[in-house]
Structure 1
Amino acid sequence: MSKLWMLVLQSTGQTLSMVLFSTLFSLLMGLPLGILLSVTSGVEQGGIIPKPILNNILGRIVNVLRSFPFIILMILLFPLSRILIGTSIGTTATIVPLSIAAAPFVARVIETALKEVDPGVVQAARAMGSTNWQIVRKVLIPEALPSLVSGVTLTIINLIGYSAMAGAIGGGGLGDLAIRYGYQRFRGDVMVVAVIIILVLVEIIQVIGNKISSHLLAKR
């Protein structure tokens, strides 16, 4: 029994590690892309630097990446994981496809949140002589912060689900525990424990995200 709980703790730690680092890397990739998608959209959509051709190209790339099922994308990215990490199997290697899978989603979340900012606030900043970069940094991002937090929360929850799927092809974590030690060994109790932990993690993340978003809204 103690061995089982050690496996549960180890798998939970692996899942948290995968989700934490893939969230950070997906934000590093998705945040600038989302900002670029927002500012280069048409004037009627709130774009402050309209670039229709660039916006269209970036939008199509994001849509293509978002349409890939995660399992297929992970298999396609095995060579990249092997180049960057030295292996395509395990918790660390799984962070690469998780990050790339989440980045387009993050970009769309950022874009949508920035487009929700009141155009009047942007116009006021422009009238005061603010540059485009100042508008993005001091107006758009602060005003959209509650929505951005909600979007990041949703991203983390999606990554928890992706990390569970990654267990099916050697990604480690709670998904791997449920499949190898639960399903394949006919241990229903192990599967139940893994599922419960995943549900608890999702609930905790959602509650924390809601509280932070509500706090930011109250301060506006």
Structure 2
Amino acid sequence: MNPTGLDLPPVMAAFVFGLMGGAHCIGMCGGIMSALTFAVPPSMRHPARMGGLLLSYNLGRILSYMVAGALVAALGTLISLSPTARVLLQTFAALMLILMALYIANWWKGLLKVEAIGRHLWRYIEPLGRRLMPVVHIPQAFTLGALWGWLPCGLVYSMLAWSLAIADPYQGAMLMGAFGLGTLPALLATGLAAQQFSQLIRHPATRSIAAITIIGFAVWQLWSLIGHTAH
């Protein structure tokens, strides 16, 4: 398999990586989900409305991921004009996945330094989000979610590195969309106070299994790359 090609397995892998990153999503964004939920006036917190708002937040967030994936992949088309550059991009993407795995398992927090890259942009976006609160309507929730999608996140940056290596805007968007859908169960569970599911995702054993799986996939990507380069 071409390591940069986006056939069904990589899309499925991106979705699974989103699921596996649920523990980080709960830790980083769970507080945001809870705050948005409790900001809704008590008289308006009936299940149908809350479910609609939670879905709208997350659909906006996932759309932002897809836009970022398309933009980064478009940049990848310019960078990967030479075979050497393509190999370097693919290697970089696999190494970022390994960092992502170490981050999920709490084995190494070096990816936090990568998050600092996006904090400069977030300083300009965050005030826009505050103007939309408290959120009581679905269009507000969707817009706030779209802004929220640009929150600095090491896991998102790891997946964007993969989109960069793919070097195809459509495929980069689909990859990020699959990843975003994978993160959806954890964040919906947080917003709906599904404690048992949240505890399962955050369990050290679950995080370790997720990390090992992602590392295995990254090593397979590197091995495929070495074999392809040798030929």
Larger Rg belongs to: 1
TM-score by length of 2: 0.37
